[in-house]
Structure 1
Amino acid sequence: MRILLCLFFVFFVSCYEVERNCTDYQTGTFTSAITINDSTYNSVFTRTKDLQVETYKGHVDSTTVRWINDCEVIFRTINPKNMQEQKDIHLKILTTTYSTYTFEYSYIGDKTKQKGTATRIN
């Protein structure tokens, strides 16, 4: 009986998958929150299939959007003003809910990844 319970438990735990309805978040208007070294950075952005316009502390940035698959995207700054802005960003959606998604991102070639949450506002 004990073995049967263990098998039953393993069966249901191994079938659990994190929900990722990434296509629901490929377009729209969102707010995002990213925490780095105990500081939280908030921004608002609008994304279409090809373009993302983000506002952070009154500064507007526009990037092209290239989806690698349903859950991973590459952003490229349209008019970079410095070397940092010339680096492309890779973002991966990790989980989704009915109105939010969690993500991780990094500059292409960097091993350091940051995590954040985005919330749909329309």
Structure 2
Amino acid sequence: MINGGHVILYSRDAEADRTFFRDVLGYPHVDAGGGWLIFKAPPGELAVHPTDGTPAQEFYLMCDDLAATMAELGERGVEFTGPATDQGWGLLTGIRLPGGGQLGLYEPRHPIAHALPH
């Protein structure tokens, strides 16, 4: 029935962010036409959190070793939103995108779901 998910990141400079995902993060991609790149995302999982405010969506990249990942990405010129912080459920920072947005980046300390069988 459902065979995948499609995440959309809205950007003030989509071309710069596409270049970032292609050249800096090295994500495999297809060209849907006219340079409109669609990237293969790493395995993912979905969590539903309660809120008293306006419902929203967020996108986080996950890694096994946040310090090592930050060091490697830093060598590629990636700018972070701040130092890693311990949130209890994991170590967290953020990546600044060239188009003005940001993505969360964290090392989970909770059980992960993306390796579960279908």
TM-score by length of 2: 0.28
Whose strand proportion is higher, 1 or 2?
1
Between the two structures, name the one with larger relative contact order (CA 8 Å, sep ≥ 6).
2
